[in-house]
């Protein structure tokens, strides 16, 4: 039986046309391997796994408005929230990495894949700046810049409550708890993490912070803000409120606003920035008006 015939029988809520879309974006695996061919014939004993992330099944594509900087060696993208940085079990097409392959593809060399070096990552729910190296000469040098802490990374964070101090620094060892699927500070065994923050706006029930991370640990800002007693608005995993002053919050309110580093080839200073995204700005304006 064909793969797109088998799945609707096993999952009654999925039509054959919907199954084909899920297969196309990469959400179906057979015997542990992603399969993107709807006509794949199955044999007795095959293990078929289907993953759904409940995001749009139309693959996201990069437009020129999303590109903040590009030369022969680097490209900087303003990533929207809800877009995965790299492929997941649920999708390959429409992730930032795949969309970048499509965007950089040379139409005169369709079989030659673009050279892409992933030197940083952003959570799916985090919007803002992310840089990729797109030339072999830049891959190693960009990796070293991030590894050695020579990239200034500035975020905007809309958090619950107010920190005790208008500015400060958090240093800890962060470790992941697989049981809770989150990171937290530990006394031993974790990786060093340094986060600096300063107040930009103080509201009745929340604050807008400018956050600088001197290390790049997974969920670093989310964990440190929660441990500061000011979790990100919308960050349910780390204790942040999903509703504040009657406003529904759809995602953790975190935005990568500014990157600054020396170009890996020319060594010239390069600084890029983008404004606050519409959903964060609307939330901030709404909360400012709440008495």
Phi, psi of 110 (to 5 degrees): -65, -20
E-strand ranges in the chain read 28-30, 33-34, 48-50, 67-70, 74-79, 117-118, 127-133, 152-160, 167-177, 182-186, 191-202, 206-213, 243-244, 247-248, 254-262, 269-273
Active site residue 235: no
Alpha helices in the chain (DSSP H): 3-10, 16-25, 96-104, 136-147, 220-227, 278-289
123, 245, 279, 281: the catalytic one is: 123
SS3 at position 68: strand
State the Cα–Cα distance between residues 53 and 56, nearest whole angstrom: 9
Catalytic residues: 123
């Amino acid at each position: 039986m064909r793969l797109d015939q088998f799945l609707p029988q096993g999952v009654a809520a999925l039509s054959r046309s919907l199954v084909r879309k899920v297969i196309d974006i990469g959400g179906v695996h057979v015997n542990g391997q992603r399969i993107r061919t709807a006509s794949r014939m199955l044999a007795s004993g095959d293990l078929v796994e289907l993953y759904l992330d409940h995001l749009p099944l139309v693959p996201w594509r990069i437009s020129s408005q999303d590109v903040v900087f590009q030369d022969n060696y680097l490209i900087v993208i303003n990533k929207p929230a809800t877009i995965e940085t790299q492929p997941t079990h649920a999708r390959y097409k429409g992730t930032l990495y795949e969309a970048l392959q499509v965007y950089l593809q040379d139409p005169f060399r369709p079989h030659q894949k673009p050279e892409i070096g992933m030197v940083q990552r952003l959570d799916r729910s985090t919007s803002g700046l992310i840089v990729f190296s797109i030339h072999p000469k830049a891959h190693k040098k960009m990796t070293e810049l991030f590894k050695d802490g020579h990239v200034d990374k500035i975020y905007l964070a809309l958090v619950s409550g107010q920190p005790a101090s208008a500015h400060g620094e958090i240093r800890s060892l962060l470790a992941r708890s697989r049981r809770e699927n989150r990171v937290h500070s530990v006394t031993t065994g974790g990786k060093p993490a340094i986060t600096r923050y300063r107040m930009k706006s103080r509201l009745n029930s929340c604050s807008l912070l400018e956050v600088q991370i001197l290390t790049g640990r997974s969920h670093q800002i989310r964990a440190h803000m929660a441990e500061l007693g000011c979790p990100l608005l919308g960050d349910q995993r780390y204790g942040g409120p999903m509703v504040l002053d009657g406003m529904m919050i759809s995602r953790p309110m975190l935005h990568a606003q500014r990157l600054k580093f020396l170009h890996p080839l020319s060594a010239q200073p390069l600084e890029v920035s983008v404004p606050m995204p519409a959903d964060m700005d609307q939330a901030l304006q709404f909360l400012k008006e709440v008495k």
